[in-house]
Amino acid sequence: MSNGSGTASGKIRVAVWNEYMDEQKRDTVTCHYPQGLHAVIADFLNREEDISAKASLIGDPEQGLAESVLQNTDVLVWWGHVHHGDVQDNLAQRVIEHVQGGMGIIFLHSAHKSKPFTRLLGTDGYLSWREAEEKCRVWTVAPAHPIAAGIPESFVIEHEEMYSEPFGVPDPKTTVFISWFKGGNVFRSGLTFERGFGKIFYFQPGHETYPNYHNEYVRKVIVNAVRWAKPQLRIGVRDCPRVDPLEW
Amino acid sequence: MSNGSGTASGKIRVAVWNEYMDEQKRDTVTCHYPQGLHAVIADFLNREEDISAKASLIGDPEQGLAESVLQNTDVLVWWGHVHHGDVQDNLAQRVIEHVQGGMGIIFLHSAHKSKPFTRLLGTDGYLSWREAEEKCRVWTVAPAHPIAAGIPESFVIEHEEMYSEPFGVPDPKTTVFISWFKGGNVFRSGLTFERGFGKIFYFQPGHETYPNYHNEYVRKVIVNAVRWAKPQLRIGVRDCPRVDPLEW
Amino acid sequence: MSNGSGTASGKIRVAVWNEYMDEQKRDTVTCHYPQGLHAVIADFLNREEDISAKASLIGDPEQGLAESVLQNTDVLVWWGHVHHGDVQDNLAQRVIEHVQGGMGIIFLHSAHKSKPFTRLLGTDGYLSWREAEEKCRVWTVAPAHPIAAGIPESFVIEHEEMYSEPFGVPDPKTTVFISWFKGGNVFRSGLTFERGFGKIFYFQPGHETYPNYHNEYVRKVIVNAVRWAKPQLRIGVRDCPRVDPLEW
Amino acid sequence: MSNGSGTASGKIRVAVWNEYMDEQKRDTVTCHYPQGLHAVIADFLNREEDISAKASLIGDPEQGLAESVLQNTDVLVWWGHVHHGDVQDNLAQRVIEHVQGGMGIIFLHSAHKSKPFTRLLGTDGYLSWREAEEKCRVWTVAPAHPIAAGIPESFVIEHEEMYSEPFGVPDPKTTVFISWFKGGNVFRSGLTFERGFGKIFYFQPGHETYPNYHNEYVRKVIVNAVRWAKPQLRIGVRDCPRVDPLEW
C-alpha cells in the first residue's frame, strides 16, 4: 500500500483520455476544440498549481491505457463516444482494476456508455437524449460537497445535448447536481460513486459540438472533482488471502 | 412484536392528518376541496379494496394524534402548513416513536417543515418556493420501485407550487421522482427514507389552491406509497437492554 | 414491459445454478449433499407453495444459462466456486443483462468471486477466509427488512468457513446481516444491492463441506430473499432513445 | 456563507463536551481520567499541529453550549451518559442547528442516547450492552476512508463495554468500523452520517471505567474524524425563501 501522490512535485497527476478520431476533427467540433477536447481539458487543469495533466488517446500505444500510464495517474478523466466498442476488453479491465485499487476516475458526458463506466457500476448506461441547441440549467443539490465548492446554486449552459431521466445507474454515493432542460426534462448530472479504494464522478455537460469545456463553472466542477477523486490509498490487484484465527 | 395488519378485515389502516383550519376554508381552497384536503385523500384511498382510511384533524382530541389513533394506524398521511408550530412537542414525539416502531408515514407537500418530518430526518426542511400557476412535470427516476408502479416515465401537473433544490434533506433511501418546473427549477419530489422499523415517503405535489389530489397519477403514487409503507413489523418504545454473553 | 410473474401457476420461478463438478462429488461434500447443493436448495424452495425451483448446471447446454432458461426465471440463485473462470463471458453478460432487466439474483457464499457478482457490483470480490470448523453467529442488523422476517436477533451456525472484513463491495442498499466468527473476525454476511430493475442479495453461509443449507434459518433467509427479489417489472435490453422535446 | 476555519491560526477548533458530574469522579473512572475524559481527549487532540481543542462542560454557562461557544467551534466532540435527559431542549436544538449549518460533530460511546444524536438521526438509539471486562476487536471495513487513515485491518481493545446489534440507526453514509466482542456480539462501531451541511461520526469505544482514550488507535480515529468533519462551508439558520422564476 502506498499513498496516491506519486510525483516528486506532489501534484495530482491527471490523464485526460479521449478518442480524438475522425468525428472530433469535423468543423462543428474543431471550431470549439481545435486540438481536441482533451487538449482544452488538460489545459485548464494545468492552470491549477496542484494539478499536472496530460492527454492519453485511443490512438496511443495500448489505446492510451498502458500499465505505465495508469500507474502514474492519480485521476483519469474519460471522454469517449463513438468508439466505446473499440476499447479492448483487457484494457477496460485494467482501468477498472486501477480504480478498484484507488485511482480516481471522472466520466464526462457520453462516457455513460463506456466500458469502464458500465462495468464499474453494473449499469447498461440507459438514458434518453436529443441534440436541440437546448438551454440547460445545472442545480447544485449538495452545496456542501467538495465538488460543489464555489459553484452557485444554479448556473446556465446556453446549449447542451439533453440527457434525460430515467438514468439507469445504481444509487449514487451523493447526488451533487441535477440539470433542468428547457424541453421539459431533468437529469441527475453530477453523481459520485465509490468502487473499491477508488472514487468515481460522473458529470453530464460536454457535448462535442458546444463550447462547454470553456464554461467557467463546468471547469471548476472538473477541477474540484479531480481534487476530490485523488487517491487516499493506492493498492494493486489482490487475491483473497487465507488467514489464521486471531482469537481462539 | 407483532405484524402490522391489525384489523379484522386485514385492510391497511390509514389516518389522513390535516390542519383544516381557517386557511383551508377559503374559497381558493374549497373550490377544489369543499370538505378539506383530507376528505378527498381519504376518499380516493377508500376506493381501494385493501385500504381503510379516515381523517384525523388538528382540532380533534389530542390534536388527532391520540395514542389510540396511532396504535390503530398502519400508515399516517400528513398534510400540514400554517399550523406546524402549533403541533405539541409531545404529540410530535409520539408520532416519531410510532414511526420508529414501524408505522409508515407519508409526508405531503408543505409537510417538509412539520415537526415529525424535520425531527425524523434531522433536517431544517430547507427549500425555495413560489406560487405562480406554474407547470410541473414529474419524472420517474426509479421505475422499478413499488411506489412508481403504473406511473409513466413522466406526467404533467398543470399548476403546482414550485419547490426548488437545494432541498435540505439527508440522502434518501431511494429517489423515486424528480420534478421539472417551467420557471427553471428542479426538485427531488418523491423520496423514501427509513427510520427504525418505519418507512417514510415524501411527495411534493399538493398545494391547497390547486386540484392536484384529483390528478390520477398523484393519487396512484399515494396509493402505491400506502401499500409500500405498510409495516412489516410493529414494536413499541424500547429501552436498551443489558444482555448476557452468548459465547465465552 | 411486463410484470415478472410469468407462470400460469403464478409461482415465483427460481433457477438454482451450480457447478456440480468433481469437487462437489467428493465424500466431504456428498455426505451433506448427495445429489449436489443445488438439489437441496431447490428442494427446500419447492416446499413453499409460491415457489417453483429447478436446477441449472454448468454442464447443461449453454452452461445452464440459455436465453430460454433466463427468460423463464424470476430469481436466479448462484452457487459457484472453483469454476468461476470457466463461465463464458457472453453468458455472464447475459445474466447481467437479465438482472438489469429485472431478474432477481441471490449470490451464495463463494459466489462473491463469480463473474456476474463482480461485474454487477464493480468489485474485485476481496475478502479473507479460513476453513477451521469454526463457530459462526449471524446477527440480524435490519430486523424490519423482508429478508429478516422470522429470523431471530441472532442464530448460530456450528461450523462455517470464515469470511472476514474488509469485504471489497460497494455500499449495499441494506446491510441485513453481520456475522461473528469465533476466531475474531466479522463479516457483512447479508447484503442487498440494486442494479437496473433487478434486486441482488448476497448471503455468506453455505460452505460445501458443512451441512448449512439444512439449517432452518439459512433456509428461511433464502426463501425470504427469493420473495423479496421477485421482479416488480421485467424489461429487455434497451438502447438509449432519441426523444423529442416535451415543452418548448 | 463562510468557510469553516475561523481562527487566525487556521487550526481546527474543537470543543470536547462532557458531563463530568459525580459519576465521572468515582475512583473507577478517575484512575484512568483524573481530570475527566474531556481533559484526556482535548489533550491528545492538542498534540496535533492543526487542531486546537478545549473542554466544554455541562456545568458551564448554558451547559457549555453557549452560542458563542458553538459559533467558534468547527467540530464538537460529545461524551455524555447519565445526564442525557438534563440537557435542555433548546440547547440540544442549538447544537442540531449548528450541525445543519456545517459544524462537524463526533459522538462517542454512550452518546448514542444523547438528544443531539437521536434528534439528528431520528433514532431511538437502540442497542444492547453489557459491562464484562470484555475483549473487543475493531475491524476496518472502509480502509480507504479518511477516518481509517493509518488504522490497521483490525486492532484490539482489551476491555470495552459491549454494544451489540441491532443498532437502531438509519443507514449510515459509510460504515467505517465494525467491532467483534468476545461474548459473541458484533456492532457497527464507526459510522458516518451527513445532516444539512454538517458531518457526523459515531464511534463506539470509550467506556469511562476503561482507559481506552489512551489507546493509540482510538486516538488516531478521533483525530482523523476531527479532520474529516471540519466544515467545508458554514451557514446560519435559514428560512425557506420565495424566489422568482429564472426562465419563462
Average pLDDT over residues B116-138: 97
pLDDT for residue C234 is more than 50: yes
For residue D203, tell me if it sits in a domain: yes
Average pLDDT for residues C206-212, to the nearest whole number? Answer: 96
The answer to whether the bond into D166 is cis (omega within 30° of 0) is yes
| Residue C31 reports pLDDT greater than 90 | yes
pLDDT of A7 reads 55
Specify the pLDDT at position A121. 98
Inside any domain, residue D106: yes
pLDDT at C22: 87
Q: What is the pLDDT of residue C9?
A: 76
- In chain B, which residues have their Cβ closer than 8 Å to the Cβ of A140? 165-166
pTM more than 0.95: yes
CATH number of the domain at B115, please.
3.40.50.880
Q: D122, B120: Cβ pair inside 8 Å?
A: yes
Neighbors of chain B with 3 or more C-beta pairs under 8 Å:
A, C, D
Nearest CA in chain C to D139: C165
- Mind telling me how many Å the CA of A55 is from chain C's nearest CA? 26
Cell of B188: 427531488
Task: Give the number of beta-carbon pairs within 8 Å between A and C.
Answer: 118
Interval C84-94: pLDDT, tens: 999 999 999 99
Any idea what DSSP says for residue C205?
Answer: -
Distance from CA of B48 to the nearest CA of A (A): 29
**pLDDT band (50, 70, 90) for residue A4:** very low
Interface of A with D (CB under 8 A): 102, 135, 137, 143-146, 149, 154, 173, 182, 194, 196-198, 231-233, 246-247
CA D208 to chain centre: 15
Question: Which tens digit of pLDDT belongs to each residue from D155-184?
Answer: 999 999 999 999 999 999 999 999 999 999
B56 has pLDDT over 80: yes
**Which three-class secondary structure state does DSSP give residue B212?**
helix
Judge whether B219 lies within some domain.
yes
Residue D244: exposed, middle, or buried by beta-carbon count in 10 A (0-12, 13-18, 19+)?
A: exposed
pLDDT band at A89 (very low <50, low <70, confident <90, very high): very high
**Mean pLDDT computed over A27-33:** 95
Q: Assess contact for D91 and D17: CB atoms under 8 A.
A: no
> D interface toward C at CB cutoff 8 Å?
137, 139-143, 153-154, 164-167, 171, 174-175, 178-181, 184-186, 188
Average pLDDT over residues A89-97: 98
The boundaries of the domain holding residue D39 are 12-122+189-229
The model's pLDDT over D11-44, given as tens digits with 9 standing for 90+, comes to 999 999 999 998 899 999 999 999 999 999 999 9
Measured between CA atoms, the residue of chain C closest to residue D136 is C184
Q: What is the ipTM of this complex?
A: 0.95
Distances (CA, A) of C244 to A128, A130, A131, A185: 10, 7, 9, 10
pLDDT score of D4 more than 50: no
pLDDT at C1 over 80: no
* B chain contacts of residue C137, beta-carbon cutoff 8 Å: 246-247
Q: Which of D201, D209, D212, D131 is nearest to D164 (CA)?
A: D131
Asked, for residue C117, whether it belongs to a domain, the answer is yes
Residue with cell 468500523: D177
Per the structure, the count of domains in chain C is 1
pLDDT at D6: 52
Structural domain includes residue C200: yes
CB contact under 8 A, B179 and A171: no
A109 lies in a domain?
yes
* Residue A88: inside a domain: yes
Q: Are B105 and B76 in contact (CB under 8 A)?
A: yes
Whether residue A89 contacts residue A79, with contact meaning beta carbons closer than 8 Å, is answered with no
Q: Is the pLDDT score of D134 beyond 60?
A: yes
Question: What's the pLDDT band for C4 if we cut at 50, 70, 90?
Answer: very low
User: How close is the nearest chain D Cα to the Cα of A19, in Å?
Assistant: 31
Residue A215 lies in a domain: yes
Q: For an interface test with D, which of B133, B195, B246 has the most D Cβ atoms less than 10 Å from its Cβ?
A: B195
Distance from CA of A125 to the nearest CA of B (A): 14
- pLDDT for the residue C23: 87
Chain D neighbors of B123, CB-CB under 8 A: 100, 195-196
The span from the CA of C230 to the CA of D127, in Å, is: 32
In this prediction, residue D7 carries a pLDDT of 55
pLDDT of B2 > 80? The answer is no
Model confidence pLDDT, tens digit, residues D171-227: 999 999 999 999 999 999 999 999 999 999 999 999 999 999 999 999 999 999 999
What is the pLDDT of chain D when averaged over all its residues?
Answer: 96
pLDDT of residue D116: 98
Residue with cell 389513533: B69
3-state DSSP assignment of residue D164: strand
Q: What is the pLDDT of residue D2?
A: 53
A1 pLDDT above the threshold of 80: no
